[in-house]
């Protein structure tokens, strides 16, 4: 498995992450097979959130974290071999965001219990909170770090300015920013290409401006969520009638590289020199293997640019 730098530290991590958002309804056996297949494919980084499972019938916060630990019953040595990342700040009752000291700390304590572990490797602030108090976040991070409950910190869906605001008080490096990115939903990349073009929808900045460049400059690892969704949770672009050119291009490149289209869609993200991690959401062991095959495919510049254009983005 290809590795990429994680934050500014010397640490390197696998560039494919197994996302656990969709495991709530899976049996123990299915979760064990998914985990075992991911490990065999070289994936040792698992993404959770306190929220995942909240919308499963009879579910609630921390359900996916709990199902993961119940099904796997990891030994302490196996636990040490993997990276467990989770997130906090989204509250599902009367939907809102909460980055207060009390919420961050209690959410992490619930995650530790649900995951049956003594420490979280990486804690992300899931979405920006309009009522954020950087000092409160800093106090929570300091206490979680000094008590050994959390080893490193990051954000998700944050703009450059929101990160700068946190950094006025937070002293730990923010190692990752998890953002939505697929070849079709590629505004964070396409906006740079369409810069200052009056008639291009892509030239509108939806991320506060230049989040990819900001993360590269500041050694923040980008983690791409929903790497195969057409847009926001509306199904995958594979074999979609909305994307005939993209699917034709994916098939052509699959044949060239001897892989399946899911590997080429993965490679479109891993090829980016920012050294991004791809957060897979599939619960199919076969798709995990097929996607992992895209971790290190050296797409050429014409191939990479051809894919973003086939997905509907104009390269002026
Ligand atoms: N930070 C955030 O705000 C945020 C938001 C959303 C998600 N996430 C993280 O990102 C991870 C990935 O998100 P995601 O699940 O939306 O990503 P995804 O990998 O783009 O989508 C996964 C879904 O697509 C289906 N799928 C994948 N390949 C397919 C194919 N070739 N044909 C048909 N269906 C296919 C999967 O079904 P099967 O299971 O049947 O393969 C699954 O339902 C999540 O697990 C979570 O960890 C983070």
In tens, the pLDDT along 28-46 reads 999 999 999 999 999 999 9
State in Å: Cα 292 to ligand 1 middle: 14
Going by alpha carbons, the residue nearest to atom 38 of ligand 1 is: 282
8-180 and 183-209+217-316 share one CATH topology?
Answer: yes
Q: What is the mean pLDDT of residues 127-135?
A: 98
Length of the chain, in residues: 316
Q: Does residue 55 have a pLDDT over 80?
A: yes
Tokens of 302: 């014409």
Average pLDDT over the chain reads 96
Tokens of 211: 């989040």
Q: What is the mean pLDDT of residues 169-196?
A: 94
Return the minimum-mean-pLDDT range out of 125-134, 161-170, 204-213, 231-240.
204-213
Q: Does residue 207 have a pLDDT over 80?
A: no
pLDDT of residue 196: 83
User: pLDDT class for 134, splitting at 50, 70, 90?
Assistant: very high
State in Å: Cα 226 to ligand 1 middle: 5
List beta partners, residue 120: 150
Going by alpha carbons, the residue nearest to atom 47 of ligand 1 is: 19
Task: Return the domain boundaries, the chain.
Answer: 8-180, 183-209+217-316
Query: What pLDDT digit, counting tens, does each position of 93-128 carry?
Result: 899 999 999 999 999 999 999 999 999 999 999 999
Outline where the chain has alpha helix (H).
Answer: 28-40, 63-72, 76-81, 101-115, 134-146, 160-167, 187-193, 211-217, 244-257, 261-270, 285-292, 301-310
Q: Does residue 10 have a pLDDT over 90?
A: no
CA-based torsion, 193, 198, 203, 207: positive or negative: positive
pLDDT of residue 206: 79
Q: What is the mean pLDDT of residues 166-173?
A: 98
Q: Which atom of ligand 1 is nearest to the CA of 124?
A: 1
Residues with CB under 6 Å of ligand 1 are 19-22, 47, 126, 156-157, 178, 225-229, 236, 238, 262, 279-284, 287
Query: Would you identify the CATH topology of the domain 8-180?
Result: TIM Barrel (3.20.20)
Helix (H, G, I), strand (E, B) or coil at 18: strand
pLDDT of residue 197: 87
Q: Which atom of ligand 1 is nearest to the CA of 126?
A: 1
List beta partners, residue 122: 85, 152
User: Tell me: domain 183-209+217-316, CATH 3.40.50.620, correct?
Assistant: no
Query: What pLDDT digit, counting tens, does each position of 224-247 carry?
Result: 999 999 999 999 999 999 999 999
**Pairing, β 16-19 against β 90-91:** unpaired
Contacts of 95 by beta carbon, 8 Å cutoff, 6+ apart: none
Q: Does residue 203 have a pLDDT over 90?
A: no
CA-derived radius of gyration, the chain: 19
């Amino acid at each position: 498995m290809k590795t990429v730098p994680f934050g500014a530290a010397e640490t390197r991590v696998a560039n494919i992450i197994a996302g656990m958002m969709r495991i709530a309804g899976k049996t123990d056996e299915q979760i064990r097979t998914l985990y075992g297949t991911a490990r065999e494919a070289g994936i040792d980084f698992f993404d959770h959130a306190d929220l995942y499972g909240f919308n499963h019938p009879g579910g609630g916060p921390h359900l996916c974290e709990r199902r993961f630990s119940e099904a796997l019953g990891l030994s302490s040595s196996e636990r040490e071999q993997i990276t467990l990342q989770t997130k906090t700040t989204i509250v599902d009752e009367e939907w809102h965001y909460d980055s207060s000291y009390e919420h961050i700390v209690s959410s992490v304590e619930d995650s530790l219990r649900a995951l049956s572990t003594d420490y979280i490797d990486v804690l992300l602030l899931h979405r920006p909170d309009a009522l954020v108090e950087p000092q409160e976040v800093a106090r929570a991070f300091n206490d979680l770090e000094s008590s050994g409950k959390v080893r490193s910190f990051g954000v998700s869906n944050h703009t450059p300015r929101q990160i700068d605001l946190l950094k006025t008080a937070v002293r730990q490096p923010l190692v990752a920013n998890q953002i939505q990115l697929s070849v079709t939903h590629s505004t964070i990349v396409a906006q740079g290409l369409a810069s200052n073009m009056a008639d291009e929808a892509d030239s509108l900045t939806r991320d506060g401006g230049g989040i990819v460049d900001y993360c590269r400059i500041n050694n923040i690892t980008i983690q791409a969520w929903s790497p195969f969704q057409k847009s926001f949770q509306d199904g995958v672009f594979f074999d979609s009638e909305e994307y005939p050119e993209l699917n034709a291009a994916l098939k052509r490149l699959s044949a060239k590289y001897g892989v399946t289209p899911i590997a080429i869609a993965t490679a479109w993200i891993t090829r980016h020199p920012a050294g991004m991690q791809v957060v897979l959401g599939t619960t199919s062991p076969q798709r995990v293997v097929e996607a992992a095959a895209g971790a290190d495919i050296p797409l050429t510049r014409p191939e990479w640019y051809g894919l973003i254009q086939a997905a509907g983005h104009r390269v002026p």
